[in-house]
Structure 1
Amino acid sequence: MSNKSSLYPKEPTWFCNRLKSRLNIPAPAASWIYEAGSITQRLRDYYGSRVRVQVLNNQWQRAFISESRLLKTHPEKYSLTREVLLYADDIPLVLARTIIPEATISSAQQNLSHLGNRPLGEVIFPYPRLERLAMQITQVQCNQWRPPIQQKAFINQPLWGRRTVYAIHHHPLLVSEFFLPEILNH
């Protein structure tokens, strides 16, 4: 196992949320980046049951160094890494990468290790004391994606994204979400 992602060969450059005024985020992208609720629920509110999850990667591997720092885990420690494409009517909407340390899986009674094609948001947002601890923002250029992902997600322009550290029972997980052009219209 390696710390490679099926989405990108090296991780994007992330910026602190407090720099948002300098990032010139267009309003449609900002609407998704600063969504306080579940992205999955927002998609379901618009697309209904047509929202689907395609799992691109789901395995134990090392996180990128900055991901380990945010999660406060040792860089050599393996975490469950899940990368997915959310879509509706065969239209790609969101690419997501989730890093879940073993302690977080244990504290969530294993619910996070057997998601299959279920969206993560439908599992974590019902937790009574889900905490949002930190958020960072990025813009990923077309050439920063792996070619198979570029083709599968129809990436032909820079994508805005966010990564959020959530905690369940005080145990963290990291969710990175990248918003594809189709959803910026909603």
Structure 2
Amino acid sequence: MSRSRTYARWHDHANAVDPSVHLRDWLTDRVSLTYKLMAHCQQFRVQRLRQQRAMCLAEEWQAIGLPRRLQVQERDVLLRCDDHPMVLGHTVLALDATTTEWPFFGTLGERSLGTTLFGDPLVQRGQLQFARLYGDHPLVRRMCAASGKDNFPYPLWARRSAFRRKTGVMLVTEVFFPEIEELRRARPDIKLLSPDFSVSSDLSRHIHPAHQLLSFGAAR
């Protein structure tokens, strides 16, 4: 089993992972992914898969400032559009992260992490990084288990960025299901925010962070 298939190589520019034109837009857009998905379906839902202590992935410990690979607080969710999984969201933060740094993390349930982060003026977002993942990568194996699929047409594309609040660091990785390329705008009445929209802006004007299920009528 080659290291290149189990350990993601992260790049600072999307050109390094060679996505399609449509997928590049999903990878590089810095607006809230939750908000963007809402505009592309009639019903958006967060499905929590797990939230627990676990060993961080081999490529994660440096990104959150750990001295070596250690246990972390971990959260995995599926972001669903009209009940179809479109994105695996994977979040890690150090075990010693405090409730002062991340007061909402332990009580999210099936609420969207993105709407909480984008609605907090103390949160700063770092640079986006990009990778291609294959079937032996731990996150892809979790996607297969959660969706009931044996495999996907590889590679799958992923992005990640670090969020900082006070002295805390949270790493958020998003892996896109192949079906993301089939999504088209379904809600023209929802205005997408400009690409330079700051993470510290008040997204709560547009999305209430307490929503667990956002329904806009009959599914397509």
TM-score scaled to structure 1, two decimals? 0.81
AA partner of residue 37 (structure 2): L
Q: Secondary structure at the match of 1:131?
A: strand
Aligned to 2:49: 56
Q: 1:53 to 1:149 in 2, by over 3 A?
A: same
Structure 2: 5+ residue stretches without partners: 185-220
Q: Distance in 2 between matches of 1:176 and 1:30?
A: 16
Q: Secondary structure at the match of 1:46?
A: coil
Q: Structure 2 matches for 1:94-173, cutoff 5 A?
A: 94-108=87-101, 110-142=103-135, 144=137, 145-146=140-141, 149=144, 152=147, 154=149, 156-158=152-154, 159-173=156-170
Greater fraction of residues in helix: 1
AA partner of residue 117 (structure 2): I
Q: Using CA pairs below 8 Å that are at least 6 residues apart, which structure has the higher relative contact order?
A: 2
Q: Secondary structure at the match of 2:128?
A: strand
Aligned to 1:7: none
Aligned to 1:21: 15
Aligned to 2:65: 72
Work out whether 1:176 is the aligned partner of 2:170: no
Give 1:150 deviation, angstroms.
5.4
Q: 1:150 to 1:103 in 2, by over 3 A?
A: closer
2:38 alignment partner, one of 44, 68, 73: 44
Q: 1:129 to 1:107 in 2, by over 3 A?
A: same
Q: Secondary structure at the match of 2:127?
A: strand
CA RMSD after TM alignment: 2.4
Aligned to 2:80: 87
Higher alpha-carbon deviation: 127-136 or 33-42: 127-136
TM-score scaled to structure 2, two decimals? 0.70
Q: Distance in 2 between matches of 1:125 and 1:80?
A: 20
Q: Distance in 1 between matches of 2:97 and 2:25?
A: 29
Q: 1:105 to 1:91 in 2, by over 3 A?
A: farther
Structure whose CA Rg is larger: 2
Give 1:153 deviation, angstroms.
6.2
Give 1:43 deviation, angstroms.
0.9
Identity fraction in percent: 23
Q: 1:107 to 1:59 in 2, by over 3 A?
A: same
Structure 1: 5+ residue stretches without partners: 1-9
Give 1:71 deviation, angstroms.
0.5
Q: How many residues align?
A: 175
Give 1:16 deviation, angstroms.
1.8
